[in-house]
Amino acid sequence: MSLRPLIGIPADRRMVGPHPFHMVGEKYAHAVARAAGGLPVLIPVLPEPLEAEELLSRLDGLLFPGSPSNVEPHHYDEGPSEPGTLHDPERDATSLPLIRAAIEQGVPILGLCRGCQEMNVALGGSLWQKVHEAPGFFDHREDKSAPLEIQYGPAHEVVLEPGPMREWAGGADRVKVNSLHGQGVKQLAPGLQVAARAPDGLIEAFHLPAAPAFTWAVQWHPEWRVMANNFSVALFAAFGEAARARATRRQQGAR
């Protein structure tokens, strides 16, 4: 019997009243289950991080989701954030080493929004802390006062580099995506390759060609109403296919 691939999703750590809770947005779990065909599993980001090696020995893929929080800038050797910026040091402590270990072990990875930024930082890249204040760039943030349908609606085009992304887009060299981020890739980490850019030149997608398994990240939110967008479905399907290949190898090795 072929089991669905087990795909871990690192949580956010949030205080609800006096107690810490571990949370994953439903849209991410839904996209893993529906579009990737996987079994989503929440990974708690405990103050004492779970052992990456033990986690990866039981997982077939990792989805690093978006979040209202930002990666702490000391992880990419920059000064402190503006006062009031939301951080999640427990998630940083879990996700950054988990990304590096997953690449080494050939575990498929997909990063979305914060997850995209985490992947770049984990591999030695840096971020614009405020893209809208960086010379030459647009304001990529959403209007938080607008209905969700507007916030997550198409915001701008991205130009796709030749390769898998154009295949997932049905051969198109550009697609329209949503935009809900204040930070973005500043210096791309060594080994990463640009897969898409916004009209202002901001990197919107990248992958790691030398990785032994699927290692891709996008700055936008393809999980939003994923099944209504063919490009998003194709992206998640490719991720799911890579996770299923790993699941098959794990099952065969257990016999």
Catalytically active residues, by annotation: 113, 221, 223
Query: What's the CA gap between 92 and 75, in Å, rounded?
Result: 9
Cβ 226 vs Cβ 177: under 8 Å: no
Cβ 195 vs Cβ 238: under 8 Å: no
Query: What's the CA gap between 109 and 187, in Å, rounded?
Result: 20
Cβ 5 vs Cβ 246: under 8 Å: yes
Cβ 70 vs Cβ 252: under 8 Å: no
